[in-house]
Amino acid sequence: MFLLVRRYTDHRTDPQARIVVDLSAVDFIDSSGLGALIGGLKAARQEGGDLRIACAGDQVKAVLKLTNLDRILAPYGTVEEARHDW
């Protein structure tokens, strides 16, 4: 899934690269997974877009909080909420 994030940001069709990563099927994330999300976020922002995450489970939320990454990757409850102002 994380590789798909990269691929999509590299070959996007949306010129603003607005991406929501639905994490509902992810019950565990490690530092490599975090790195891939940050890579996707940076790539999207470089193109004037953004990457947001939705439906994160407890472990993902805890790890984001403990690494302070929730400040730049705020977890949204649903994909719809993540896209609310797009």
Partner 1 sequence: MTGEDYTVEGFAVPDELESVHALLSRVAADHPEIDPMDVMLFETAVIEIANNVVEYGEPEGEVRWRLTLRVTDDEIQADLDDTGQEFEAFTGAVMPGEDAEGGRGLAIAESMFDKIELERADGLTHWTMVRKLGRGLGL
Sites for partner 1 among residues 13-72 (CB under 8 A):
28, 30-32, 34-36, 38-39, 42, 58-59, 62-63, 65-69, 71-72
Cβ closest to partner 1, residue 26 vs residue 39: 39
Cβ closest to partner 1, residue 43 vs residue 54: 43
Distance CA 60, CA 72 (A): 14
What is the nearest approach in angstroms of partner 1 to the Cβ of residue 28?
Answer: 7
Following CA atoms 15, 39, 2, 75 in sequence, which dihedral angle do they give, to the nearest 10 degrees? -90
Q: CA dist 60 to 12, 20, 49, 64, 78, Å?
A: 26, 15, 23, 6, 15
Three-state SS at 46: helix
Cβ closest to partner 1, residue 57 vs residue 79: 57
Which residues of this protein are in contact with partner 1, per CB under 8 A? 28, 30-32, 34-36, 38-39, 42, 58-59, 62-63, 65-69, 71-72
